A and B are shown apart, each in its own frame.
Chain A
């Protein structure tokens, strides 16, 4: 699904990613853990095409396409979704309207038919219910006045509606209490299947208790320094990064 080779990237001339190699096969969930400043968020922004992030080398192929050459909206239509660490507020823009616009923009880009208001609302209500979101969240303005937990649930709702092939969850667990964490994890798990891959970026083992990854990677200084199964996350929890990153000791 996603194949990254020797990816290097910088912000304002400062190198952040120093040669990332990562393959996420279809249907797998991979976790990336690492200390602050290791490049986790940068990786998510480079993959999704945010301005200001300079690609200095390497390749990233997503579903057979060179995504680094695509506009952010083209990557989205190709099936790449980023759940933001800090979801953005859009004052005056109704949540349901935003979602429907996004969904139909993607469907149009893929040559699929658009959903009308009735079809859309039915789908949105079903998904919102599954995420224990009250209906009125759909009517409120995008992320405006949402609590931290509501914002993250809203990200997962968008993901559920947009049905991406690859979801990058950038510290989606930060600021969540345990109940919200479970709901978010259930939202992700519900999508798991042969056509869905995920890259879960997190600091903590606790999210991975609920979204059990196929692989865990440790990112340090812009490189993946260690990979393993779910047990690697447990080892990190027990021994800290020092145990796996020699230079961090």
Chain B
């Protein structure tokens, strides 16, 4: 009850309208010229002082990408992307190792403030000494455009042996781990956008949880696209050794822009025997205006590999932003008795397009997967669930449960469900449930008769519709997610 109760307050607090996080920050940028070629890749690699093997890896990915075509099977439409018209590297100019608040660019601090990063954490981000006992239980790795400006709580995490740092730093300090796992879940040739990311990724997070360790806090990254025309290509790699446990959250906001901004991230998760990785996303990138102008293009490849027996990978996502979302967080269930979960809320309003879902690949015996997808379409938007459940020949006793619900607001939007089911093992059990509904007039009237405004009533009904997914989010972020749902549906009724 508490989380939902607070929804209402947040729903009410959020009624001021518009894209309230649509601000941008003026900080001097160190920017590479537009365009994509081997020289740009060499420049990125050199700026990051990367070892030769990584440069070679990038160049190989680039060679693969050049031979690939942009995929066209998703239910999304957009003008052709000119990949030569983008900047592939931008770093805020920073002084070496800010040690106190005074040394940090005040503009950057103001950005943190607008992002709602608590004062205490801002101080830590800025390198101010803080005693351990007052630390909040959320560690954050802030990605400001392409370079991770600061990483928090590293010391506390280090005590338990957890590594949580920008991947560029991991390349320097833990090259053996990065080299071993990078591209091992999502190979460079996996798809067009993954190949592009592999060639030009600039930063992202690296997490390593040693054997038997339960990560003492939620790990959180705030991504933010801030430079004009800068494609953002994060690369995230999370490794959970045997019997370890980690919960990771990414939340995104972006400044309002006229031009479309390209985003193509790759996230790789590896879970060994008895390990659990919970990966939660609250995505709120600029969706474009009510006329369909502007907005982020979000082409993401996220995949988790349950390598060990009884391992578990759980994806939870609340997607309210972006003009185009192309995203299928997936699980490869290789270990016997491993478990994959996908909980998703995708909201589209105005002219947004979302083609999202998951893939559950059952390889090990008695592997289990659960898919709960809630799609909400309003305005003239299109919302597609696309999901694959594949049961391998060897996956005796595999089970899947899929539930796809769509909620329509208004009569100009679209909801589509495209399930693919491939079962090669007769002992597998698969269930698929799907519903499509509209917010009923009698529900709205009932709420309004009790005193709720129409928009509050929609927020309440939508949050109720999404409850099964929202309850999977870490508590700290459930409220933010509920608020986003309300904000993104403003003006969709009446």
Contact = CB atoms under 8 A, between A and B. Distances in A.
Interface of A: 48-52, 71-73, 75-77, 81-82, 84, 87-94, 96-98, 100-106, 109, 117, 139, 141, 158, 162
B1 A71 contact: no
B446 A87 contact: yes
A96 B369 CA distance: 33
B157 interface: no
Contact of B445 (A50, A91, A92, A101): A50
A93 B465 CA distance: 8
Interface in B212-251: none
Contacts of B467: 92
List 4 A-B pairs, minimum CB-CB distance, nearest first: A92-B464, A102-B450, A93-B464, A92-B467
B449 A93 contact: no
Interface string B450-472: 11111010001101111110000
Contacts of B450: 76, 98, 102, 105-106, 158, 162
A155 to B, nearest CB: 10
Contact of B464 (A48, A73, A109, A141): A141
Given A51-B441, A91-B465, A92-B466, A105 B446 contact: no
B4 A97 contact: yes
A106 B451 contact: yes
Which of the four size classes fits the interface of chain B? 20 to 34
B442 interface: yes
Contacts of B454: 73
Contacts of B8: 97, 100-101, 104
7 contacts: A88-B443, A88-B446, A90-B461, A92-B466, A97-B8, A101-B460, A104-B8
Given A91-B464, A106-B450, 17 more contacts: A71-B448, A73-B448, A75-B449, A76-B450, A76-B451, A81-B449, A84-B446, A90-B447, A92-B464, A92-B466, A94-B5, A100-B5, A104-B8, A105-B452, A106-B451, A158-B450, A162-B451
B2 interface: yes
A90 B1 CA distance: 15
A106 B449 CA distance: 10
A100 to B, nearest CB: 6
A167 B447 CA distance: 16
B368 to A, nearest CB: 24
A51 B493 CA distance: 14
A141 B461 CA distance: 11
The interface residues of chain B, by DSSP majority, are classed as: helix
B466 A73 contact: no
A139 B12 CA distance: 22
Contacts of B446: 84, 87-88, 90
Nearest to A141: B464
Given A84-B446, A90-B464, A141-B464, A97 B451 contact: no
A134 B73 CA distance: 53
B451 A93 contact: no
Interface string B1-29: 11011011000100000000000000000
Interface string B44-61: 000000000000000000
Contacts of B445: 50-51, 72, 88
A146 to B, nearest CB: 14
B443 A90 contact: yes
B5 A102 contact: no
Contacts of B468: 92
Given A93-B461, A101-B456, A141-B464, A117 B451 contact: no
Contacts of B447: 90, 98, 102
Contacts of A84: 446, 449
Contacts of B465: 91-92
Nearest to B445: A50
A72 B463 CA distance: 22
A195 B361 CA distance: 65
Contacts of B448: 49, 71-73, 76
Contacts of A82: 449
Contact of B451 (A49, A87, A90, A105): A105
